[in-house]
């Protein structure tokens, strides 16, 4: 039973190696000469003049949440698209699969239109 999980373990180890080995090699092989200029905070070429904990406009968060929401909703199209040939080949699923995705897209479109009408996508 555990031998079925061995490829997953190998995948995790290779992923960790790809992430950690370049960092370790860069730290060991690269020059390490810190000075005041290198250790100073950098913000678009200017010295930071405000606290990093300033409040952002609520519209920024709204746009970010809407982007994540609609981006994740679109991600649900990929599994459906990958099995589209199988859905089309099965007589009983052909119309069901199509109308199910049309309902999903319709709900997504109604949500997008509602957000647009509310003015959530406007940036002044």
Query: Which three-class secondary structure string do you get for the chain?
Result: CHHHHHHHHHHHHHHHHHHHHHHHHHHHHCCCCCCHHHHCCCECCECCCCCCCCCCCHHHHHHHHHHHHHHHHHHCHHHHHHCHHHHHHCHHHHHHHHHHHHHHHHHHHHHHHHHHHHCCCCCC
| Least confident stretch, 52-56, 98-102, 116-120 | 52-56
Asked if the model's pLDDT at residue 33 lies above 80, the reply is yes
Q: How confident is the model at residue 42 (pLDDT cuts 50, 70, 90)?
A: low
More confident site: 47 or 4 = 4
Q: Write down all domains in the chain, each with its CATH number in brackets.
A: 2-118 (1.20.58.1610)
- Do 114 and 120 contact (CB within 8 A), yes or no? no
Enter the pTM of the model. Answer: 0.51
Asked if the model's pLDDT at residue 48 lies above 70, the reply is no
Q: For residue range 78-116, what is the model confidence (pLDDT) as tens digits?
A: 888 898 888 888 888 888 888 988 999 999 899 999 999
């Amino acid at each position: 039973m555990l031998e079925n999980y061995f490829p997953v373990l190998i995948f995790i180890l290779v992923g960790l190696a790809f992430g950690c080995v370049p960092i370790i090699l860069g730290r060991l092989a690269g020059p390490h000469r810190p000075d005041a200029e290198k250790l100073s905070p950098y913000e678009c070429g200017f010295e930071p003049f405000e606290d990093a904990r300033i409040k952002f406009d609520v519209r920024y968060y709204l746009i970010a949440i809407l982007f994540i929401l609609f981006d994740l909703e679109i991600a649900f199209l990929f599994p459906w698209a990958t099995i589209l040939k199988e859905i089309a080949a099965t007589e009983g699923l052909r119309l069901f699969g199509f109308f199910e995705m049309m309902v999903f897209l319709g709900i997504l479109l109604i949500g997008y239109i509602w957000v647009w009408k509310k003015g959530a996508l406007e940036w002044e």
